[in-house]
Amino acid sequence: MTEDPVPESGSAAKTTVAIQTVGCKLNQAESETLSRRFLRAGYELVAPEKSPHVYVLNTCTVTHVADRKCRQYLRAFKEKHPQSLVVAAGCYAERDADAVKVEGVDMVVGNNSKHLLVEMVQDLLRRPTGHSNHYVHGQGQAPFRTRSMIAVQHGCSHGCTYCIVPYVRKPEGSVPAAEVLSRIKAREADGYREIVITGTRIGRYRDEGGIEGLLRLVLEETSIPRIRLSSLHPEEITGSLVDLWQAEGRICRHLHMALQSGCDTVLKRMARGYTTDKYLSVVDMIRRAMPEIAVTTDVIVGFPGETEREFEESYSFCRDTGFANMHVFPYSVRSGTPASIMPNPVAATVKKERGKRMRDLAARNADVFRARFFEKPMAVLWEERKKPDVWIGYTDNYIKVFTATNAYLHNCLLDTRLGRPYQQGVWGDIDFPANSAMPPVKGV
């Protein structure tokens, strides 16, 4: 999805729009691009609860839970804001347009047309029977954030047997390196302190010598403090990439590498293309190079045919690997995928019990990982204020940190001493630099 300027529209200059995102980092990146395109067209970005004239839900369809969440968001918004123009975009809209239409949606835009969404909205608003009475005065301003998603790749041709993504995302492609670099420089000029390089499968990036070459270019041509990689597969992590990662302090020490199962027979049915031994060898290699790196993963429980023995193998592998965090999903049937017609489906009650056991394990492993950094000073990028004086930020290895201060910390990158556990994260005390100005006090 490109970020080319869109034509100015006099009527659109008076229209408010809210964009809400469900799903992956690529969806988040595309929502950022949509936001910028709406702003260039003169729209004002607002929160969904502010009764926008246009509401866009960027949908996900990776599981039935994602489908349900999207339908709930669309239905709830339409009930509260019946006069708004409601747009369903993205993967669920691509896969099952009829399902989202019944939620009172005015426009359905699949992934292949998402780049035209702003123009399509403008066209609909211009129609006499449209929502022309919704125009209000206001000049849009970009929401100021600390972290920006940069989509560099789209599509996946691998064909895991459970995955719907190849059916709802266009074929694999890479954003030219020059365009990626231009976007990052623009975010840097806007004051962002962190960018996340994302895509359907960024390890399949094909320009500038692959993802490693792209990283080298970004490191050479920009000075943005933090560069985070969204997700990689085991076969995409080479020794030279790890060497670069270790040498460059600007690349965040966080590797998300989806496992999906810790049992080889299940991995084979999933067509993941690696074994647990291969996966573990990559984890060991990167941990030897960077002992403080956070290795996080995704795990599916209840895949068709998963026996109790296979689940226990997966559970043991996850326990022994000691992930810093795990996203646990019950297997969700996606019609049209090979897994959807596999024999021996796992009962919903069994999937629920296995999911709970795996999530409990994930919580314990996360506690153990965070405890390693107790009383250690680490740089924290402070992102949002939840209460008048409580701030939330993240270390480069993605530990969630809370602190209390009357200073305004938004977008500040500050050394912070990590302390006691607190709400799936840790409490931190900021080491404000001596003889330097503190961030301004709130309200100043």
pLDDT digits (tens, 9 = 90+) for 114-129: 888 888 888 777 654 4
Pairing of strands 413-422, 377-387: antiparallel
- Hey, what's the torsion of the CAs at 209, 210, 215, 221, to 10 degrees? 40
Section 229-249 average pLDDT: 95
Section 157-163 average pLDDT: 91
Question: Which stretches does DSSP call E strand in 373-437?
Answer: 377-387, 390-395, 400-404, 413-422, 425-430
| 283's tokens | 């984890």
Whether the per-residue pLDDT at 439 is higher than 60: the answer is: no
Cα–chain-centroid distance for residue 160?
20
pLDDT tens column, 139-155:
233 345 688 999 999 98
**Predicted pLDDT of residue 132:** 31
Task: Work out the pLDDT band at 7, boundaries 50, 70, 90.
Answer: very low
Whether the per-residue pLDDT at 3 is higher than 70: the answer is: no
Whether the per-residue pLDDT at 437 is higher than 60: the answer is: no
Task: Work out the pLDDT band at 349, boundaries 50, 70, 90.
Answer: very high
Nearest alpha carbon to residue 237 among 180, 290, 173, 184: 290
Q: What is the CA radius of gyration of the chain?
A: 23
Which pTM value belongs to this model?
Answer: 0.77
Task: Give 137 or 312, the one with higher predicted confidence.
Answer: 312
